[in-house]
Amino acid sequence: MAASNSIIHGLLKSKVPFYRALNRTTLPSVCVQRSTDLQSVRASTSATDSRFSEKYCLDLVRSRDYDGFVSSLLLPEDARRSSLALRAFNVELAQAGISTAQLDVKDSVSQKTLGLMRMQFWKTAIEEIYSDDPPSQPIGTELWRAVRKHNLTKRWLLRIITDREKDLDDRAYRNLQELEAYSENTQSSLIYLLLECLGVKDVHADHAASHIGKAQGITTCLRATPYHSSRRKVYLPMDVCMLHGASQEDFIRNSREQNVRDVVYDIASQAHVHLQHARSFSKRVPAAACPAFLQTVVLEDYLQRVRRAHFDVFHPSLQARNPLLPLQLYLRSWKKTY
């Protein structure tokens, strides 16, 4: 007992020198260790967030834009992740219009308001991304990474948002030129950004990208016709429909009359013309640009299939995905052509 009291008394007597020694030697060591641990935790958290945002974009594109997903996987590794970020951004904007098209007139008013709010969010997000202060959102994080890595042009991103916002009006295109303008501002802008990811700056590549984007927008409008018709919506250019005496009701009823097929023929032909124009630049386009144009394989596949179906846009063969498409994309990628 006496020994125990002696030890306690000794510790109490030496308390001040002990804390001084602790503050002088041990505390800085502890602080350094804690600082190192904190940095390690932050780095680990940042890496986890990065992996999550990358996987989020990959899963979104795979589920909503499978053709774009496969095309992105065939890009050079340095551009692959950025391509998925851009395509995820494109899908995110497109979903606002799709959700509006699914609702009746009363609900679509409030849904359009939500769509406009989503577009405003992305306009603000783009400004924040270019101010190096991205939103805490997976696509925003990945987009910020792509912008920093490839110095992407802000104008193309904002142009996609602006025209997607106009598309919330939920009406048919007045004429083929209006559909082409929309396609240029959305699909072509996306391809311009993909070219920047590949480090390509070439006027011939830009011309080809413009025509491919227009062909893609027109073809997408055709491909989506059965889906939209099932929801009593028709977005095909009104001037072409009027030219052949085809009403919106004809498409809603899935009519296979000749006048409906003539509408499809004219629209598909215009997409084919743009595809041919794009390929007319092929000898002058750098090989490095070709991976950004892999979508031409998908467009060509659909246009050939709709031709074999005698331009019956509702034919069951057009509703199924071509199982050989990934192989065709790979072969085109290997040949470095479009």
Tens-place pLDDT, residues 14-43: 333 333 333 433 334 444 454 444 344 344
Q: Which residue has the higher pLDDT, 11 or 242?
A: 242
Summarize pLDDT for 114-144 with one digit per residue, the tens.
Answer: 889 999 999 999 999 999 999 999 999 999 9
Where are the domains positioned within the chain? 49-99+107-170, 172-337
Give kind and range of the element (H or E) at residue 303: helix 295-308
Average pLDDT over residues 109-116: 79
- Quote the pLDDT of residue 115: 87
Say whether pLDDT at 168 is over 50: yes
Domain 172-337, second-level architecture: Orthogonal Bundle (1.10)
C-alpha–C-alpha distance, residues 97 and 143, integer Å: 21
**Cβ-contact 164, 186 below 8 angstroms:** yes
C-alpha–C-alpha distance, residues 20 and 16, integer Å: 6
Which stretch of 105-109, 139-143, 235-239, 332-336 has the lowest confidence by average pLDDT?
105-109
- Quote the pLDDT of residue 46: 64
- Residue 224 backbone zone (phi > 0: left; psi -120 to 50: alpha; other: beta): alpha
pTM: 0.83
Strands (E), the chain: none
What is the pLDDT confidence band of residue 96, given thresholds at 50, 70 and 90?
confident
Average pLDDT over residues 253-272: 97
What is the pLDDT confidence band of residue 48, given thresholds at 50, 70 and 90?
confident
